[in-house]
Amino acid sequence: MTNPVILRREQATLVITLNRPERRNAFDLEMRQALGEAILAARDSTDVRAVVLTGAGDHFSAGGDLKALSSQTLDPHAVRDRIRRLHPWFRELVNLEKPVIAAVEGAAFGGGFHLTLASDFVLAASNARFCAVFARMGMVPDLGGLYLLPRIVGLQRAKEIVFTAREIAADEAAALGIAFGVYPPGSTLTHAMELAARMADAPTQALGMAKNVLNRSFNLDQDTLAELESYAQAVALHSDYHRDAIERFMGKKTARFNWNNRS
């Protein structure tokens, strides 16, 4: 049996590849379970400093496998339970305290689209297409899209994207803030790996705490965010990474992490 998700380590980067290319990497139950396990493995590994999400073949993911879905007879409560079981691992992905980079070629539809929204950086091939396709099937967006999309593009634009179920080309995705950059087809994984490698010397724990607070920033008031900031900074100032950075600074040595000096 072919593994629905392939894990590969390249130094400090964990590459998670959706591996059903014959179905445009559509999610079935096995892939959903394997993806959840992969995300937990990334969370729990102290050696993993960045995660890259990609799809095998010519597409990122077509979203839910409608063929498999249509072959099942489930009552509404069973469907609700199945959808709810997606959210624990999806929340882990959204809040993973490590940089997450999506390398998107071809289609990122439905749940595949929302999987890219859960990433910190989306690198889109010029042939990439994003679509909240649910309305075409008489469905409501799931897998966290109703939460993430308006926070990225704004409420009115999110409604337009959901109501029309239209395809969004790579250049528009970049203009909307969905995509971090647009690259030639076939090159997004290479660029994603380069970006992940540049994160290897970053203060992973400090970035993770910053990401945690940023993800909450739309839901909390300024005073609460200030408290979270204070606690996070207190932890960061007592880290080995910070002490090493101070020693390097005082000794006029090259900083361990300097984005502009990284080749």
**Which pLDDT value is given to residue 82?**
79
Residue 91: C-alpha distances to residues 88, 188, 212, 228 (Å) = 5, 25, 11, 19
CB-count burial class (<10 Å; 0-12, 13-18, 19+) for 120: buried
Distance, in Å, from the CA atom of 257 to the CA atom of 201, rounded to the nearest integer, reads 5
**Which pLDDT value is given to residue 84?**
82
| Domain locations along the chain | 5-198, 204-261
pTM over 0.85: yes
Single-letter residue type at 169: A
In CATH, the number for domain 204-261 is: 1.10.12.10
**Which pLDDT value is given to residue 75?**
80
Q: Which of 118, 113, 148, 151 is nearest to 129 (CA)?
A: 113
Distance, in Å, from the CA atom of 97 to the CA atom of 204, rounded to the nearest integer, reads 8
The length of the chain in residues reads 263
Task: Label residues 32-48 b or e (16+ Cβ within 10 Å = b).
Answer: bebbbebbeebbeeeeb
Q: Matching CATH topology for 5-198 and 204-261?
A: no
Q: Reduced to 3 states, what is the DSSP secondary structure of residue 61? A: strand
Distance, in Å, from the CA atom of 102 to the CA atom of 162, rounded to the nearest integer, reads 21
Q: Over the chain (263 residues), what is each successive 10-residue block's mean pLDDT?
A: 92 97 92 94 96 98 77 74 84 97 98 97 98 94 94 98 98 98 98 96 96 95 96 96 95 90 60
**Which pLDDT value is given to residue 262?**
59
**Which pLDDT value is given to residue 72?**
62
CATH class of 5-198: alpha beta
Consecutive H or E run containing 189: helix 188-198
Quick one: tokens of 31?
A: 């892939």
**Which pLDDT value is given to residue 73?**
65
**Which pLDDT value is given to residue 92?**
96
**Which pLDDT value is given to residue 79?**
78
